[in-house]
A and B are shown apart, each in its own frame.
Chain A
Amino acid sequence: MPDRTAVADAADVVYIYDGSFEGLLSCVFESYARKEIPSDIVPEEQYELSLYPTRFIETNHLHFERVKKGVADKIGKDALTAIWKGYLCSWEGKEIAILHFIRMGMRDGRRVIYDLANDYVGRLMKSNTTLWNEAHHYMGFVRFSVYENNAMVSVIEPKHKILPIIKDHFIDRYKNESFLIYDKTHRYALIYSKGRNIIIPADDYSPPQMSGEEQKLHDMWKLFYETIEIKERRNERCRMTMMPKRFWSQLHEMSGNKEANI
């Protein structure tokens, strides 16, 4: 097992990967193989020319599997899940933090996930919470429109890749329905129909025109939303805390609201 002291501090090299989870763990493998800690790891999408030399890390399924198994055996399945969720969440420096987390865990074992006071561990665990919070928000804020063939469609704009997290919830909820949730930010979609589901990249998707009947239901919901408010207790700030403006454009009841840009 490589001793941390045997590794140069931070090598003057930037790893570039394809942005997938497999690709990220391939980078971790590469870091062990070359006995170096890159100064940064960036997905190719976000790469901007830098002074450091770069190394493109090819996604390698075997390497991915080895790192995955190593993490699961040595640090535990919880840690593997935490890393995966950390990857789904968007945060500054996540790749490097995950690399260090894995290196610490391979050295110290399972207790590393309790070491919340450590910067890398703390931020990784915090990203898990952030991801879950947004996923939980969207369990409530996803809005479906129903089309003539009974298909349900929703378009969302989350900050993080929450589709894999909310998948089970919506499948369980609408088991006998067909639905599509399109993530506009990360340009991929969850499609479910008749017991089968798939998550696929989709570049540009816009839902079809909805029927008059459907519009009526949206209006009824908006009417309910406006009626249920107790005007004597109006509290703009509280609403904004609970339901930040970034969600408004996706909510039927906020359509026509000055702040929402539909």
Chain B
Amino acid sequence: METSQKLQILADAAKYDVACTSSGADRSSDGFSMGNAMASGICHSFSGDGRCISLLKVLMSNACAYDCAYCLNRRSNDVPRATFTPRELADLTMNFYRRNYIEGLFLSSGIIKNPDYTCERMIETLKILREEYRFGGYIHAKAIPGADSLLLQRIGYLADRMSVNIELPSQKSLVTLAPDKSKSSILKPMGFIRDSISQNKNELVRYKSTPKFASAGQSTQMIIGATPETDYSILKLSEALYGKYSLKRVFYSAYIPVSENPLLPALTTEPPLLREHRLYQADWLLRFYGFSADEILSEQTPDFNPLLDPKCNWVVNNMHRFPVEINSAPKEELLRVPGIGVKSVFKILQARRSCKLSFESLKKLGVVLKRARFFITCGGEFDPAVSFSPQEAANALISNSDMKKFRQKEQYEQIDFLSQPPALPQREDYFKCLTGQL
């Protein structure tokens, strides 16, 4: 089979893996190698679905021995199969890298024969790249659940980032849909990688020449909407993964129906993109804004508000903490103002060292006031240009795109509480449900 044909089959089989980031590793050339890695990561292109293409994302092989119901590559599915030889894949990576198409390689694989054999093939590829071609770019490798820990360790020394996919957010769902995997077979390698990374960090302090183990950390991915978990339980899981397993990223992937199965949503189901979007928003709140999962959702309200992003939703429920004074509020409080993000907070903190800030100067700093102006004061005063009608506040909080998504994707039943005939609701109605502490 020609390389280009294999590329097509194996890229197609890998496309549902979300992670394509090349961030977290910072390495410059040692003078002999080809390539470097930049901490911020670099996007080299964007595909038609708007996702960043940073790495050559392929499977080593899609001839999988497992039979997970949600997966396109399951044994029982009738699709063309292909397997790269290690040399072939390494050459392709180098050729793409030279043309500045990619930052490096994202290598995952279906299970060829058994987990150990699969790992060995992956290691061989990475060895050709790192040792023979002296490739200094980014490598993201999937840990294969069930593989020997010695093999995982060898991958860790060759790759910048490792990941084990959680796939489904609960043990119960795993049992029903992925009979060959179990919670422990996923968490075991995750714990092993975590321990190796922290051990390696200690060694690095002592001996500078120690080879680095997965220096960009580890990440994971789960599928949203294939199984009945609530947003709250998913978010709690993410929080635990960030805390307990020191993950760098958790990725969420809206389930796109790939097979007819009574256990799965029907083939006609639309991927829950809005839900995925909300999860990413909440994920950011966890990682950069100092929120905890319990502040964002709770047992009583276990699902995201389709109209309000998680931050605005929190604000609506915590009005007593506003307004916030721009010139004196600490960083943590500024971060909680709707419409003000990490970058704006940084600019505000820097600018207020040299002068007192007014609404005019905030605009010049490039702080977007559309949402924020309802919740902040400058020198004790509200923005005189704002009229405080509830209507305007609602307009500011609900973004047009969210409204559109909501109208397109959600079923009418879900907005039944508006006690409306099944006509499309207007902004005023959204406001009613907003003040009703939805």
Contact = CB atoms under 8 A, between A and B. Distances in A.
Interface in A206-229: 216-221, 223-229
B53 A117 contact: no
A258 to B, nearest CB: 13
Interface stretch (A40-48, A59-67, A230-238): A230-238
A144 B95 CA distance: 11
A173 B54 CA distance: 15
Contact of A114 (B29, B38, B353): B353
A218 B101 CA distance: 10
Contacts of A233: 49-51, 254, 256, 271, 273
A224 B35 contact: no
A101 to B, nearest CB: 14
A174 interface: yes
A242 B50 contact: yes
B52 interface: yes
A243 B56 CA distance: 18
A128 interface: no
Interface string A95-124: 000000000000000010011111100100
Chain A residues touching B, majority SS: helix
B34 A172 contact: no
A174 B137 CA distance: 11
A154 interface: yes
Interface in B249-281: 254, 256, 271, 273
B351 A144 contact: no
A220 B3 contact: yes
A144 B34 CA distance: 15
B387 interface: no
Given A220-B7, A223-B4, A235 B42 contact: no
B49 A117 contact: no
A136 B353 contact: no
B350 A114 contact: yes
Interface string B384-400: 00000000000000000
Contact of B29 (A118, A172, A221, A225): A172
Interface residues of B, number: 58
Interface in A134-173: 136, 139-146, 152, 154, 169, 172-173
B271 A232 contact: yes
Contact of B4 (A144, A219, A235): A219
B12 interface: yes
Looking at A115, A154, A237, A243, the one whose CB has the most chain B CB atoms below 10 A away is: A243
Given A111-B354, A172-B28, A173-B36, A232 B8 contact: no
Nearest to A253: B45
Interface residues of A, number: 56
B99 A175 contact: no
A196 interface: no
Given A122-B365, A224-B7, A224-B11, A143 B100 contact: yes
B92 to A, nearest CB: 8
Interface string B106-122: 00000000000000000
A144 B97 CA distance: 10
A146 B98 contact: yes
A177 B170 CA distance: 49
Contact of B47 (A122, A146, A177, A225): A225
Interface in B89-103: 92, 95-96, 98-101
Contacts of A136: 40, 42
Contacts of A231: 48-49
Contacts of A216: 4
Contacts of A140: 42-45, 54, 100
Contact of B15 (A126, A175, A227): A227
A80 interface: no
A221 to B, nearest CB: 5
B207 interface: no
A144 B50 contact: no
Contact of A232 (B31, B32, B256): B256
Interface string B292-313: 0000000000000000000000
A122 B360 CA distance: 12
Interface string B141-172: 00000000000000000000000000000000
Most buried by A among B16, B51, B52: B51
A90 interface: no
B46 A234 contact: no
A176 interface: yes
Nearest to B31: A175
B30 to A, nearest CB: 9
Contacts of A237: 50
Contacts of B38: 139, 169
Interface in B18-44: 28-29, 31-36, 38, 40, 42-44
Contacts of A34: none
A72 interface: no
A13 interface: no
A119 B350 CA distance: 16
Contacts of B422: none
Interface of A: 111, 114-119, 122, 126, 136, 139-146, 152, 154, 169, 172-177, 216-221, 223-239, 241-243, 251-253
Given A117-B351, A223-B7, A231-B49, 5 more contacts: A117-B364, A136-B40, A144-B99, A144-B100, A224-B8
> Which 5 residue pairs spanning A and B have beta carbons closest together?
A238-B50, A117-B361, A229-B47, A235-B50, A233-B49
25 contacts: A117-B351, A122-B364, A126-B366, A136-B40, A136-B42, A140-B43, A173-B100, A174-B34, A175-B29, A177-B98, A216-B4, A217-B96, A220-B3, A223-B4, A224-B8, A224-B56, A226-B48, A227-B8, A228-B15, A232-B271, A233-B273, A234-B49, A235-B48, A242-B50, A253-B45
